[in-house]
Amino acid sequence: MKKFLFDFFPLVLFFVAFKVADIYVATWAAIVASVAQIAWLKLRKKPIEATNWMNVIIIVVFGGATIYFQNEAFVKWKPTVLYWMFATILLGGKLFFKKNLIQKLLGAQMNMDNHVWDKLNYSWSGFFIIAGAINLFVAFSGYFTLDQWATFKVFGMTILLVIFAIGQSLWISRHIDIPEN
């Protein structure tokens, strides 16, 4: 739970800064918070996950472009780029390198048949592809305001992620091999 809150911090700071000021101040806040997280982990000699690096690079690039060009479109693309990168990594690992990265990540904690691991990998890939598309729709369709997009980005996508993760956990629970004693 502590890790979840730590990872969620830049997103919450973005939202608060957006509500208090504007998209540009919020983007600065997210950039500073993300870089500060990496610095904090480095100072504490804690491992920095690849997802942390990907997130900080993407927020610095897309957030920096948002601030430099004074164009909110760049920061609106950031979640989609991140989600689609996750999907590409999961799918690319499986399709091109025959590596199931979900299994590599979680295989030490649970034992399941390879076909179950593959379904899990593909379902997370699909979730990230769909999540990226939903973000683009909310950000650019014209049906939603910037305020609605920011709220959706912080709360809506987080809720969708939690619901999907719970669904995956329930599905996994039916397929875990429990050793008999």
Domain ranges of the chain: 1-71, 79-181
- Taking only the tens place, the pLDDT of each residue in 91-134 is 999 999 999 999 998 888 889 999 999 999 999 999 999 999 99
CA torsion, ordered 52, 54, 58, 61, to nearest 10 deg: 100
Which pLDDT belongs to residue 177? 75
* 3-class DSSP state of 100: coil
Q: Is the pLDDT at 65 greater than 80, yes or no?
A: yes
- Distance linking the first and last C-alpha atoms of the chain: 31
- Taking only the tens place, the pLDDT of each residue in 75-92 is 999 999 999 999 999 999
Q: Is the pLDDT at 7 greater than 90, yes or no?
A: no
Query: What average pLDDT does this structure show over 21-49?
Result: 96
Q: Is the pLDDT at 181 greater than 80, yes or no?
A: no
With beta carbons less than 8 A apart as the criterion, state whether 81 and 62 touch.
Answer: yes
DSSP annotation of 105 reads H
pTM recorded for the entire structure: 0.91
What's the mean per-residue pLDDT of the chain? 94
Alpha carbon 142 to its chain's center: 24
Count of helices and strands (H, E) across the chain:
8, 0
Instruction: Write 130-138 long-range contacts (CB < 8 A, 24+).
Output: 131/79, 131/83, 131/157, 131/160, 131/161, 132/79, 132/80, 132/81, 132/83, 132/84, 132/87, 133/80, 134/160, 135/76, 135/79, 135/80, 135/83, 136/77, 136/80
With beta carbons less than 8 A apart as the criterion, state whether 161 and 11 touch.
Answer: no
